[in-house]
Structure 1
Amino acid sequence: MADAQRDLLVRHIRLLRDCVALSKRRWDFVIQAAAVLPAEMHLLCAFGGGHHDARGAIRLVTSTFDRHVSDHCASVWSDTCEVIEVSSRVAQLRRSFVEAAPVRAGLVSNVCDWPYSSAHMDTAQSDDMGVAMA
């Protein structure tokens, strides 16, 4: 995020879910784990088939989100994003790492207590699109 003090991601979580769902439709990936913090977002995704573009998927999420958040004229996203390719054997470890982000940030003491995470499975969803979080 460009400004760590902003909380646009959690305030506009439904919009963020829709942006991710749009990107999922374009690039056909599966979200294995997700955590949205006030100032950052972590996604662990599996791209199927031969055609995948993780950076393109991220660009679609970020540009669509920025276009629909009208109360701020500057982008909430930083100019850099980190894309790390991992083997399926490492993915389970990364899932735990992604879901533990709110604990590392000091927002909760238990991963299941953060409502904007795939670890928080008890939260009702409006539909099956996007990231499984509040």
Structure 2
Amino acid sequence: MRTYTRARIPGATYFFTVTLAERHGNDLLTRHIDALREAFRVTRQEHPFVVEAVVVLPEHLHCLWKLPANDHDFPLRWRLIKARFSRMIPANETPSPSRLRKGERGIWQRRYWEHLICDDRDMRQHFDYIHFNPIKHGYVARVADWPYSSFHRHVAGGRYPVDWAVAPGAVDLVSAGE
């Protein structure tokens, strides 16, 4: 059997996809966005990292993190964020017997996807992937219309124009001058 070894490099930048256990029809992350933000804030205070880019969708999120030069422990940070978020929201899920035995609520998938960012091109591609995701999943016709994204911060910083991405066939009133 193969074992998975995570690339753990101090000071590196990583792309993550983190998902709820129950994806279908679940809006837990956007419904409790303030709790998620607080879980990130407290964890970042205790174990610093920079959120380069993030998008929160109803049942999953994508983000890019830059870790401190002397630190590679992103698993600890994710454990803390997931646990804090889980403690802050009402308990109304039905955990599986396996999760009950382990004392888990069953909100999050146990695992997550991570990718070590290799170079500037890789970073740009993941920035775009993160910010385009609300269109990809059909939540909005324009990236600028999704409120749970670092896209707005990057528009203000000059990285993206406000009309950067529009779903095919959508009318872009910003570009049309309306």
The structural deviation recorded for 1:52 is 2.5
Question: What CA distance in whole angstroms lies between the structure 2 residues aligned with 1:93 and 1:25?
Answer: 28
Alignment-derived partner of residue 31 in structure 1: 51
In structure 1, C-alpha distance between the alignment counterparts of 2:84 and 2:119, rounded to whole Å: 29
Q: Counterpart of 2:117? A: 86
Instruction: Name the aligned partner's letter for residue 21 of structure 2.
Output: A
Unpaired runs of 5+ in structure 1? 123-134
Max Rg structure: 2
Counterparts of 1:62 and 1:94, CA distance in 2: 22
Matched, 1:64 2:84: yes
Give the drift of 1:72: 2.3
| 1:93 positional shift | 1.9
Letter in 2 for 1:101: N
Q: CA offset at residue 88 of structure 1?
A: 4.5
- Residue 49, structure 1, aligned to residue 72, structure 2: no
Counterpart code for 2:60: E
Residue of structure 2 aligned with 1:18, choices 38, 44, 50: 38
Which residue matches 1:129? none
Residue 113, structure 1, aligned to residue 145, structure 2:
yes
Secondary structure of the residue aligned to 2:66 is strand
TM-score, L = length of structure 1: 0.83
Choose between structure 1 and 2 for higher RCO, CA contacts under 8 A separated by at least 6 residues. Answer: 1
RMSD: 1.7
Structure 2 unaligned blocks of 5 or more:
1-19, 94-104, 155-178
Which residue matches 2:12?
A: none
1:39-72 alpha-carbon deviations (Å, 9 max, x no partner): 1011111112121211111111101101111242
CA distance in 2, matches of 1:36, 1:103: 13
Q: What is the number of residues matched between the two proteins?
A: 122
In the other structure, the counterpart of 1:100 is 132
